Amino acid sequence: MAIHPIDNRYGTPEMRAVWSEEHRFACIVAAEAALAKAEAACGLIPARDATAIARGAKKASLARAKAIEAEISHDMMAVVKALSEVSGEAGRWVHFGATSNDMLDTATGLQLKESLALLEEKLLGLLAVLLRRAGETRGLVCAARTHGQIGIPTTYGMRFALWASEVARHLDRLREIRPRVEVGKLTGAVGTMAALGKDGFSVQEKMMGELGLGTVDISNQIVPRDRYAEYFMFLAGVATTLDRMAIAVRTLQRTEIGEVSEPFGSRQVGSSTMPHKRNPIRSEQVSGLARVVRAAVEPALQNNTLWDERDLTNSSCERVIFPEATILTDHLLAVTTGVMEGLAIHGENIGKNLAILGGIPLAEAVMVELTRRGMGRQDAHEAVRKASMEAYRRKKDLAAVLAGDREVRKSITRKELDGLLDPEKYIGTAPEQVDRVVASLSRYLPRTRGRKPKARKR
């Protein structure tokens, strides 16, 4: 019976598999096998016994380990006993020189390595979609908003390019944290390597080399949790970017704005009582679950403030936050990519919103031109401000109000005013900025290297 929504509602099969109980067990016994092989290479145990332990790791049973744990109330020692049972005489060497977290934290390192690979793949997929949509809409002029109010125009290409740039920075962060996060340890009870002595360095290096992990430079009984806290802050950063995108979709899909809409299936139901509804439920899900991912940051930081060489307060917490935050972030990336891929853009409503204030949002263009033609910048600002407020009050086009201003008419004709208040002519370098971002960020996508997404004809 499913308890957590991750079991039946949220999460991709591939990321769920990484954090499954079965795979966690497999990672732990893989770490034990790698330890035995490293110790054999250093002459500490017979090579034949290391081989037998490796064979045993393939036969070890999670069910048997759980049965032993029910008797002894120690999860890691239960794994050691279960592996020893299937390793024959070589079982005497299982876990030699190690402490529990040598195996547990090394197993976590393996899971984090797999998780980051999946997250990187999904970030790249989202980036590809955003760059394509940016290219398609590079010159699609729309109303920009600051403080929730319409400002001067921007383009949809700018919006997609901004999101793409942010996603690319997360890819950089992912690659930067890998050496600090994808690590394991074999330092013993309190980190001194006392059980292995001077051979400890060689055993640790060989063990992690076998597993494809980095090695801690120093530790106490556990991998220092600042490394893991950084991972959770990375997840929170990704989730927050996706939340930002989701909020934009939700806002722009409002009935009164109606510029975009999420994909909506032909048989999809929006409401159990209002048959007409087309709700942005995917974006709302992203915003909701992003809160859960961000909530993992605080406990992750507190897990680094353990007593002395360690206590156990991090353990129970990490059993929850590692799979939950990772699986949800992966899920949010998949959902957001689908939303961006299928996002419908409604040009008619975009045009209506551009024109809804009768040119008032283009006031800056007039102010700048008046200044260029000799009026002081502050005087120009005041003249256009007054005209804008009058246009608001009288519900008139700004051009008509400005045309009645004697000082403005000295510098700018009515025909010129109409041109200045054309939103299509006041988007600055927006298309060029989009082109630069698309060209620059395409380097992240090997299959599209050197090719720019095609711009939509307008």
Q: Which residues are catalytic?
A: 147, 271
What is residue 221's DSSP assignment? S
With beta carbons less than 8 A apart as the criterion, state whether 201 and 44 touch. Answer: no
Residue 205 CB-density burial (10 A; 0-12 exposed, 13-18 middle, 19+ buried): middle
Stretch (H or E) spanning 117: helix 100-136
| Selection from 92, 91, 115, 95 nearest residue 104 by Cα | 95
Q: Which residues contact 302 (CB under 8 A, 6 or more apart)?
A: 313, 317
Sheet strands (E) in 91-246: 141-146, 149-155, 183-184, 214-215
Residue in this structure with the two tokens 């208040």, named with its chain if needed:
421
SS (H, E, C) 291-325: HHHHHCHHHHHHCCCCCCCCCCHHHHHHHHHHHHH
DSSP character string of 426-445: --TTHHHHHHHHHHHHGGG-
| Calpha distance 104→30 (Å, rounded) | 11
What three-state secondary structure class fits 154?
A: strand
Cβ–Cβ under 8 Å, residues 245 and 333: no
